[in-house]
Chains A and B, each alone.
With several copies, the nearest count.
Chain A
Amino acid sequence: MHTEYKVKTSAFEGPMELLLLLIEKRKLFINEISLAQVTDDFMSYLKRLGTLPIGYTANFIITAATLVLIKSRSLLPNLLLTEEEEGDISDLRRRLELYRLFKNAGEKISSTFGKHIMFKRQYRAIMPVFVPDKSLNLANIQQSVIDMLASAPKKEALTETTVQKAISMEEMMENLTLRIKETMRMSFKQFSNHHANPKKDGKIFIIVSFLALLELVKQGIIAVRQENKFGDIDIEGLAEQKI
């Protein structure tokens, strides 16, 4: 079933589903190394989500942030992560394990559901006897409708915390860039300003271009140069490579 996998926009309900599929497609175990390996696949799916409403993409973006951390560390082993970031990484791995556990169990559940129903007895015929009670009066009936209307779910407002988290991504990426600059001497900001219009392309592009940059550094395709001690840091192509 999974062998004919193609990335299709909005084919996935959530990031865990996508992440697990990417890992299983490559027949990997769930660990930091495999998560780093599927990060690019995950991002290429995300790029296509760029046009969907933030409510749908927010959960993917949050997961993407953690994947960026994992990938950064896999490429730059001496990059120091904060305690919280370490926590995010082990949390993502654990969530994915949990998700896989329940998803697999769910497959068995769905194959048994409705196959051998334990039927309950048919109801005996009703012989109604009119028995009202004191709570039945027009005022109570009206109040009950009013209460019900008040507690009805509103047009599902996007969970604000999720969206907030997704929006603060930019900050997080900048912060990470700074720290990588310290170790790698480069100006990511310049890089991303050149190549992305954040207003138009959004957070996903920033993540993707960041990852691309990391990859390029790793492969030695670009070098970084610093003019004076506290000056700006430039990125320079080693060969006539186009980034």
Chain B
Amino acid sequence: MMLPLDAQIEAILFFKTDAMSIRKLSELLNVNKELVEEALTQLKVKLEGRGVSLTCHGDEVMLTCAKEVSLLIEKLAKDELEGELSRASVETLSIVLYRGSVTKSEIDYIRGVNASFILRALQIRGLVERTQNPKDGRAFIYKPTIELYNFLGITKKEELPDYEKLMKELDLLSREESQNEKDSMAVSS
């Protein structure tokens, strides 16, 4: 008997424990990415109200215990939990989280401080990851890890506190910036 695709994915993620990429899932299951994504959506719906949640973060997906049982599981978890975050870490994490992916110079710009140390510390804690910038091979971009999502109890970026509102404000500010640029272009030309 063959299980539906979403159940097969559930089994794979259950076995795997860690996050897995959609690309890898599509290879393993020998179906195209669109079908995998469709099945993931179904799985997410089926898991609603269950003890297990599906987290999607960019190309990566992962099964975790549901947020609602965190206190129960904490009793069973032996690993030492992460300590407090410093002010600088919180500010940096918030930029990385809401921006989704961001360069170091953008973080430096917003905070007016060189973010090298803090980014390194956050990478060591496994909360932020660095990847090559697809648009510029020499530059790096920083992204939140799926583990950071787990620590925040969210399964996708839209669940970040005040996500909609913040995105709107960011949008306004960036429009203002491009307006400024246009204005100065007009003057200098």
A and B: direct contact (Cβ < 8 Å)? yes
Q: A interface vs B, CB < 8 Å?
A: 10, 13-17, 56, 59, 63, 83, 86-87, 90-91, 94-95, 97-99, 101-103, 105-110, 112-126, 128-142, 144-149, 152-153, 155-156, 159, 162
Measured CB to CB, the closest approach of chain B to A201, in angstroms, equals 23
Residue of B77, B123, B127, B153 near A112 (CB, 8 A) is B153
B136 at interface by CB-CB < 8 Å: no
Query: Are B153 and A149 neighbours in the complex by a CB distance under 8 Å?
Result: no
Q: Taking A13-B87, A83-B188 as contacts, is the C-beta distance between A102 and B95 under 8 angstroms?
A: yes
Query: Of B2-10, B21-29, B38-46, B162-170, which stretch is located at the interface?
Result: B162-170
Contacts of A141 in B (CB 8 A): 90, 93-94, 97, 152, 160-161
Query: Are A153 and B112 neighbours in the complex by a CB distance under 8 Å?
Result: yes
B151 — nearest CB in chain A belongs to which residue? A132
B30 at interface by CB-CB < 8 Å: no
Measured CB to CB, the closest approach of chain B to A9, in angstroms, equals 11
Query: Are B64 and A118 neighbours in the complex by a CB distance under 8 Å?
Result: yes
Measured CB to CB, the closest approach of chain B to A78, in angstroms, equals 19
Query: Are A105 and B125 neighbours in the complex by a CB distance under 8 Å?
Result: no
Residue of A15, A107, A114, A142 near B82 (CB, 8 A) is A114
Alpha-carbon distance between A164 and B120 when the two chains are bound, in angstroms: 25
Excluding A95-B112, A118-B153, A159-B114, 15 further A-B contacts by CB distance (< 8 Å) are A13-B113, A97-B173, A101-B166, A101-B170, A108-B162, A109-B160, A113-B151, A118-B66, A119-B150, A130-B125, A136-B90, A141-B90, A145-B94, A145-B98, A152-B173
